[in-house]
Amino acid sequence: MVLSLGSICLVCSALLGIANNVTAEPIAQATLAKINDKISYVVPSYDNNPSDNVTMVEVDGTEYKVYLASMSDKVVGYAIEVAPTGFGGPISMIVGFDAENGNIYNTAVISHSETPGLGDKIASNEQGSFRDQFIEMNPASNKLSVRKDGGDIDAITAATISSRAFTVGVSTAYKVYLTLIGNGDADVVSGASKK
Amino acid sequence: MEYILIIISAVFVNNILLSQFLGICPFLGVSKKVSTAVGMSAAVAFVMGMATCVTYLLQNYLLVPLEIEFLQTVSFILVIASLVQMVEIILKKISPSLYQALGIFLPLITTNCAVLGVALMVVQKQFSFGGAAHMLNLGQSVVFAVASAIGFGLAITLFAGIREQLELSKVPKVFKGVPIALIVAGIMAMAFMGFSGIV
Amino acid sequence: MTKLKILTKGIIKDNPTFALVLGMCPTLGTTTSAINGMGMGVATLFVLILSNMVVSAVARFIPDKVRIPSYIVIISAFVTIVQLLIQAYIPSLYDTLGLFIPLIVVNCIVLGRAEAFANKHNVIDSALDGIGIGLGFTLSLTVIGLVREILGSGSAFGWKFMEPYGMLIFVLAPGAFLVLGYLMVLFKKLTTKKA
């Protein structure tokens, strides 16, 4: 009795081990492709592999992942992953900064649990959508909070909380960016310090 | 403080039944009488709490260190099946009447998507109860599981109360039974949507 | 029962969703659009066919007492394989279906068919039964998903024909219950007329 159940478990585990080995590589590639896709969306053109140039920056006790994008060994952009708390759960997003002028190059949402039709407009890539206003924005001269809170960001109608959360994400990413370049980023690629 | 947020979120805001759709089969099957609904919920709460505790430890101290995470589904469901078997044996000894009342539904807790669902959620999803997104620790996971079960119990008991009334009302013939139950559930889900944004 | 009968009864007469009222959790949770519903249905179809065949083949060697746990282990092994394959080759579907893929294990349909049919019939018949029930399930999930998508997002199979969103409630939780309830009534009306 125990023998039959035990042998079934063994056979199944063995089968799963094989399946796991076969699919491990494609799964890793799929996950990589997904993040690379988002990174290429938020930073200027690059020729390296940002997933290989990752640095962790700590701000206010939380560690953030920063991907360095570079062209011909010169850093062109920083893609920073943040996860602010939205309306329905954490919003996993990525903010890209242009290394040349310190502006926000673009933003992207990786995953979210916001309300469909309302809060989920933060993930919309359409023309004139919420995230458009962040493109090429100078974070130093704009107040990164929604108009309701005295800032310069237009929130999505009837989705203030999601908009606020996303904006918090952007301002957190900016803090990370400042911390990174302020410390003189001993950047992995060119070995040159930016001080 | 975070524990209170976890409880409110699991019971009301993200009610396991009415907004996550886990545990529907027993929901439609057991909720005909309030007494069975309450008994069932208690059994589910117990199994869920214990199962989440064991599977959490299993995941973090066995599956991850040995890099055999692909055995997650198989091992988790085996843990749940064994726990249910254990509960059955214990219940038979301590309270034969409750054992009789629950009947077939006790072994069915094994296939209750809510139990496996919650066990998987705490080791896979990141939560953000009023703070940065993070994975729950053991204590928080168990509280989350029991709170989810309470949410399940709440929804099922409310539902049973409504169904007892429905039995006495004039329902069109084609709607009788499952269809009208689903429509009532839909309205209840709408009501629970009012809780969103609290946590 | 003829082979054709075994195959086709699962589609209408013994439709798992509308006639047998089984597998409700994924039915409500994954039908936010026609494609999602179809994806879930097909994944379940694969598990059904494979587990039915294996259970049918080994049923006589398994002692009665450990029957159910053994079936569960076999089913969970196939579910894990399907999960790994989807994660590796269709990552977008993996993201949308999320938790519901491993939950195929506790889908009452799969265990139910193993217990009610596969362990009493030969491998070919069990496979046909799996195909029939699986197709019926896929059909009902796709229909429910389509209705919810048309009413709730103004699109069908991803093709948007109405801007902006339709009645949002239908892609949210309550909509699932309501659409299923009303479609079940429709199904009952249509099938009792035929008889």
Count each helix (H run) and each strand (E run) in chain B, helices first.
8, 0
Out of B71, B128, B197, whose CB is closest to A13?
B71
Q: Does A22 touch chain B (CB under 8 A)?
A: no
Task: State residue B170's pLDDT score.
Answer: 86
**Mean pLDDT, each 10-residue run in order, chain C (195 residues):** 78 85 86 90 93 89 82 91 90 86 89 84 88 92 91 78 72 88 88 66
- Is B186 in contact with C80 (Cβ distance < 8 A)? no
Burial C118-143 (b: 16+ CB within 10 A, else e): bbebeeebbbbbbbbbbbbbbbbbbb
Q: Is B111 helix (H, G, I), strand (E, B) or coil?
A: helix
For B1-58, how does the pLDDT look when each residue is reduced to its tens digit (9 = 90+)?
678 888 888 888 888 888 888 888 778 776 677 877 888 888 888 889 999 999 999 8
Among A residues 110-169, those touching chain B with beta carbons less than 8 Å apart: 115, 161
Q: With a cut of 0.85, is the ipTM above it?
A: no
Please list the residues that pair with B127 across neighbouring strands. Answer: B134
Are the CB atoms for C165 and C178 separated by under 8 Å? Answer: no
What value does the mean pLDDT of chain C take?
A: 86
pTM (2 decimals)?
Answer: 0.84
Beta strands in B52-164 (DSSP E): none
Q: Does B72 touch chain C (CB under 8 A)?
A: yes
Out of B68, B126, B132, whose CB is closest to A62?
B132
Query: What are B191's two structure tokens?
Result: 């009501």
Burial B62-88 (b: 16+ CB within 10 A, else e): ebeeeeeebbbbbbbbbbbbebbeebb
For A83-112, how does the pLDDT look when each residue is reduced to its tens digit (9 = 90+)?
888 877 788 899 999 988 889 999 999 888
Are the CB atoms for A86 and A124 separated by under 8 Å? Answer: no
CB A84: neighbour CB atoms within 10 A? 22
For C6-26, how does the pLDDT look when each residue is reduced to its tens digit (9 = 90+)?
788 888 888 888 888 888 888
For B98-138, how does the pLDDT look when each residue is reduced to its tens digit (9 = 90+)?
788 777 777 878 888 889 999 988 888 777 665 666 778 88
Residue C172 C-alpha, separation from nearest chain A C-alpha, in angstroms:
8
| 3-state secondary structure string across chain A | CHHHHHHHHHHHHHHHHHHHHHHHHHHHHHHHHHHHHHHHHHCCCCCCCHHHCEEEEEECCEEEEEEEEEECCEEEEEEEEECCECCCCECEEEEEEECCCCCEEEEEEEECCCCCCCHHHHHCCCCCCHHHHHCCECCCCCCCCEHHHCCCECCECCEHHHHHHHHHHHHHHHHHHHHHHHCCCCCCCCCCCCC
Please list every residue in chain B whose beta carbon sits closer than 8 Å to the beta carbon of residue C79: 73
Nearest CA in chain B to C80: B73
Q: Does C172 touch chain A (CB under 8 A)?
A: yes
Phi, psi of A77 (to 5 degrees): -160, 155
Query: What are A50's two structure tokens?
Result: 């940002």
For residue A84, is the peptide bond before it cis, meaning its omega torsion is within 30 degrees of 0? Answer: no
Q: What is the rounded (10 degree) CA torsion for C185, C190, C194, C195?
A: 0
State the Cα–Cα distance between residues A177 and C87, nearest whole angstrom.
Answer: 33
For B138-178, how does the pLDDT look when each residue is reduced to its tens digit (9 = 90+)?
888 899 999 999 999 999 888 888 888 888 888 888 888 88
Touching subunits for chain C (3+ Cβ pairs under 8 A) = A, B
Query: What are C11's two structure tokens?
Result: 């589609």
By CB neighbour count within 10 A (0-12 exposed, 13-18 middle, 19+ buried), where does C181 fall?
A: buried
Are the CB atoms for A88 and A118 separated by under 8 Å? Answer: no
Are the CB atoms for C175 and C152 separated by under 8 Å? Answer: yes
Residue B177 carries which DSSP code?
Answer: T
